[in-house]
């Protein structure tokens, strides 16, 4: 089944063609990074307007690169319908509806976070059950995945998302844009012992897999000197390395705890933060765990993961109709999800 996947939930305008949820024929990602860089963050109005301008061209390029025609070769359309920036989501969703209607193809709206979780399935045969770690700019989710249709959220953030914390600290110290990538790069040349940031004290009970980033962010931004180790410089590299370690160790600790509690040693990561070098090293080096990371291009937003999850849903007979609306948030994603 040839599925055309459309992703416009944030600042990447992306369209892909994927065969049977596995073989990527094309995956065009038109990034708006340069257009948001002057503001050091994504400006929703600019994002949605650029999607309107770009979507048709990106779709044409995806079809051309795949060497396929919409009418003759594409079997179905998949599109991100939730969660994300509402204006951006609406562009992709409306475009997908129009395309599917005009070409008389079935289509399905899919969940962006579930698509991040599905991304590693494009590259590996992964057995269930596993622990899913979905970490992006808007979400931080640790879940138990019995199958793609049975996902139980174990923990989430009680305040900021992990990627958001990276972005805010990077912005404050003017480390570069996009923040997470810039901070990760600087951290490579810093010393993580330079600052000892405190760990949040969270629940020991049923919410023990939750994380919190607002305290760490405040410590790194407003109380830096308090946590400096004697003899270390407050260089950008040292701040980045110490922050990165604290932010990622928090996730790794929860993953290890969940593995111990559930006996599930297989871990699947996805979302922009899964591109983090330190996270990849720490989890890959843990011999007790069997961890799958998407390749870097499939960590951040892309149409291929949408097409792949769409294939899965369509194969199960799921279809969306023209009444489907976009949703900025997915309510009650704590448990169960979606």
Which residue lies nearer to Zn ion by CB, 11 or 301? 301
Residue 193 beta carbon to Zn ion: minimum distance, rounded to whole angstroms: 32
Q: Which does 168 bind (CB under 5 to 8 A by kind): Zn ion, ligand KG4, none?
A: none
Choose the contact partner of 109 out of ligand KG4, Zn ion, none; CB within 5 to 8 A by kind.
none
Q: Please state the closest distance from residue 138 (CB atom) to ligand KG4, in A.
A: 5
Tell me the HSE value of 95 on the side-chain side, using a 13 A CA sphere.
Answer: 29
CA angle 177, 180, 183 (to 5 degrees): 85
**Between 91 and 264, CB nearer to ligand KG4:** 91
Find which of Zn ion, ligand KG4, none residue 276 binds, CB within 5 to 8 Å per kind: ligand KG4
Rounded Cα distance, 26 and 305, in Å: 12
Looking from the CA of 93 toward its CB, the CA atoms found within 13 Å total 26
| DSSP class of 205 | S
Residues 138 and 163: beta-carbon distance below 8 Å = yes
Selection from Zn ion, ligand KG4, none that 163 binds (CB < 5 to 8 A by kind) is ligand KG4
- What are the residues binding ligand KG4 (CB under 6 A)? 10, 116, 136-138, 163-164, 166-167, 178-181, 184, 271-273, 275-276, 300-301
Q: How far apart are the first and last CA of the chain?
A: 25
Q: How far is the CB of 253 from ligand KG4 (least distance, A)?
A: 17
Q: How far is the CB of 329 from ligand KG4 (least distance, A)?
A: 13
Pairing of strands 150-156, 266-270: unpaired
Binding site partner of 180, from ligand KG4, Zn ion, none, Cβ cut-off 5-8 A by kind: ligand KG4
| Closer CB to ligand KG4, 12 or 210, in the complex | 12
φ/ψ bin of 207: left (φ > 0), alpha (ψ from -120 to 50), beta (otherwise): alpha
CA 61 to centroid of chain Cα atoms = 24
CA distance 31 to 213: 27
Quote the least distance from Cβ 73 to ligand KG4, whole Å. Answer: 29
Binding site for Zn ion (CB under 5 A): 136, 301
């Amino acid at each position: 089944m040839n599925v055309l996947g459309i992703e416009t939930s944030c600042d990447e305008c992306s369209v892909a063609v994927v065969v049977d949820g596995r073989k990527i024929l094309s995956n065009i990602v038109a990034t708006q990074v340069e257009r948001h860089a002057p503001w050091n963050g994504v400006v929703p109005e600019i994002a949605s307007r650029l999607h309107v301008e770009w979507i048709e061209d990106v779709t044409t390029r995806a079809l051309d690169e795949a060497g396929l025609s919409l009418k003759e070769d594409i079997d179905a359309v998949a599109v991100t319908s939730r969660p994300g920036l509402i204006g951006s989501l609406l562009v992709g969703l409306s475009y997908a509806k129009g395309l599917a209607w005009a070409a008389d193809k079935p289509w399905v709206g899919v969940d962006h976070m579930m698509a991040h979780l599905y991304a590693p399935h494009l590259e590996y045969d992964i057995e269930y059950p596993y622990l899913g770690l979905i970490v992006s700019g808007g979400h931080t989710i640790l879940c138990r995945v019995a199958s793609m249709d049975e996902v139980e959220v174990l923990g989430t953030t009680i305040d900021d998302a992990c990627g958001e914390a990276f972005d805010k600290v990077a912005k404050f110290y003017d480390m570069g844009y996009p923040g997470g990538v810039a901070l990760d790069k600087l951290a490579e040349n810093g010393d993580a012992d330079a600052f000892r940031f405190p760990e949040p004290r969270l629940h020991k009970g049923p919410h023990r897999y939750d994380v919190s980033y607002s305290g760490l962010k405040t410590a790194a931004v407003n109380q830096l000197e308090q946590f400096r180790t004697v003899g270390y410089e407050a260089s950008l590299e040292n701040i980045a390395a110490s922050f990165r370690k604290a932010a990622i160790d928090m996730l790794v600790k929860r993953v290890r705890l969940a593995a111990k509690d559930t006996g599930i040693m297989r871990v699947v990561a996805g979302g922009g933060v899964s591109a983090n070098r330190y996270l990849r090293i720490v989890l890959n080096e843990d011999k007790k765990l069997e961890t799958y990371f998407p390749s870097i291009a499939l960590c951040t937003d892309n149409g291929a993961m949408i097409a792949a999850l769409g294939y899965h849903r369509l194969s199960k007979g799921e279809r969306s109709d023209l009444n489907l609306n976009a949703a900025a948030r997915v309510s009650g994603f704590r448990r169960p999800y979606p």
